[in-house]
């Protein structure tokens, strides 16, 4: 075999080997880069999960602290964000599963206060944490609205909003709201005949905002402050004869 042919064959073999080496090197580097990318993605997801958890913990802590200032005195120990176990402990076993309140996203418990008011506690079904409180009661008559509002203003300050909310079911309401940072409260009046059904509703601010929006509420103008909307007692039917609402109102 001529020398030139031998040299050519050796050159081809070396070229093939070099190409194979380069391909292996490239594949190895690509695999290493993919591994680094996967590791970086896992670390990024872990950082995001930690940040989300920290935000949630700060939110719950703020919710607990802030909502305590809105709870009526008879509900000592109750705050939004606490668990079912903590709520039961705070109320010394007074909480019972609600008989008539239903919601696929919530678990409801109820308590009857010595005053006759009914309290509905709504817990998120996944986190098992308290996300709303409703205190349902009756005022003795229209003349009791003024003293009640005076007491509310003295305790909580001036309301941040006053709303009239129409209803296709003949049950328009007036709502006074007190908005804090993450928590808000609505004092909801349903007036019919000479009776006043009252619901104190405490929940996260975004929930109260959604409630106002769903009820098509509009701010009350100064000239209508003294004119409470009156529900149609006939349209209310049996509800007008009940001392307390039998189920959690859909807010």
Q: What is the per-residue pLDDT across 7-44, written as a single tens digit (0 to 9) for each?
A: 555 454 455 566 566 666 667 776 767 767 777 667 67
- Confidence grade of residue 69 (pLDDT, cut at 50, 70, 90): very high
Averaged pLDDT for residues 130-140: 95
Q: What is the pTM of this model?
A: 0.75
pLDDT at 246: 37
Bridge partner list, 161: 177
pLDDT at 146: 93
**How does DSSP classify residue 105?**
T
pLDDT at 57: 66
Given a cut of 60, whether residue 158 has pLDDT beyond it is: yes
pLDDT tens digits for range 42-66: 767 766 666 556 666 687 788 999 9
pLDDT at 100: 81
pLDDT tens digits for range 75-96: 999 999 999 999 999 998 899 9
- Torsion from C-alpha of 117, 190, 70, 109, nearest 10 degrees: 50
pLDDT at 39: 74
Average pLDDT, rounded, for the chain: 82
Q: How far apart are CA 117 and CA 129, in angstroms?
A: 23
Closest CA to 64 of 125, 129, 127, 126: 129
Given a cut of 50, whether residue 176 has pLDDT beyond it is: yes
Q: How far apart are CA 147 and CA 192, in angstroms?
A: 18
Averaged pLDDT for residues 110-129: 94
pLDDT at 102: 75
- Specify whether the backbone of 247 is left (phi greater than 0), alpha (psi in -120 to 50) or beta: beta
Closest CA to 197 of 121, 128, 145: 145
3-state secondary structure of 220: coil
CA atoms within 13 A on the CB side of 135: 18
Residue found under tokens 């003295």: 154
Please provide the distance, in angstroms rounded to a whole number, between the alpha carbons at the two ends of the chain. 97
pLDDT tens digits for range 210-243: 999 999 999 999 999 988 998 877 666 644 444 3
Name, in order, each residue with C-beta under 8 angstroms of 50's C-beta and a sequence gap of 6 or more. none
pLDDT at 103: 80
């Amino acid at each position: 075999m001529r020398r030139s042919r031998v040299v050519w064959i050796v050159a081809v073999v070396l070229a093939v080997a070099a190409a194979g080496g380069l391909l292996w090197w490239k594949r190895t580097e690509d695999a290493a880069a993919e591994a680094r990318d996967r590791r970086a993605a896992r670390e990024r997801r872990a950082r995001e999960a930690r940040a989300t958890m920290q935000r949630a913990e700060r939110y719950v802590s703020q919710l607990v602290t802030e909502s305590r200032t809105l709870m009526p005195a008879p509900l000592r120990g109750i705050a939004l964000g606490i668990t079912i176990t903590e709520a039961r402990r705070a109320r010394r076993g007074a909480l019972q599963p609600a008989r008539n309140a239903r919601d696929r996203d919530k678990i409801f418990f109820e308590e009857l206060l010595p005053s006759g008011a009914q309290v509905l506690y709504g817990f998120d079904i996944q986190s098992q944490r308290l996300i709303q409180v409703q205190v349902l009661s009756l005022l003795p008559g229209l003349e009791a609205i003024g003293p009640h509002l005076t007491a509310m203003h003295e305790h909580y300050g001036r309301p941040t909003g006053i709303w009239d909310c129409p209803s296709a079911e003949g049950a328009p309401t007036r709502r006074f709201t007190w908005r804090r940072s993450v928590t808000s409260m609505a004092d909801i009046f349903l007036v019919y005949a000479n009776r006043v059904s009252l619901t104190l509703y405490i929940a996260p601010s975004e929930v109260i905002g959604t409630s106002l929006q769903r009820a098509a509420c509009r701010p009350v103008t100064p000239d209508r402050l003294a004119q409470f909307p009156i529900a149609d007692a006939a349209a209310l039917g049996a509800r007008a004869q009940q001392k307390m609402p039998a189920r959690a109102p859909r807010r």
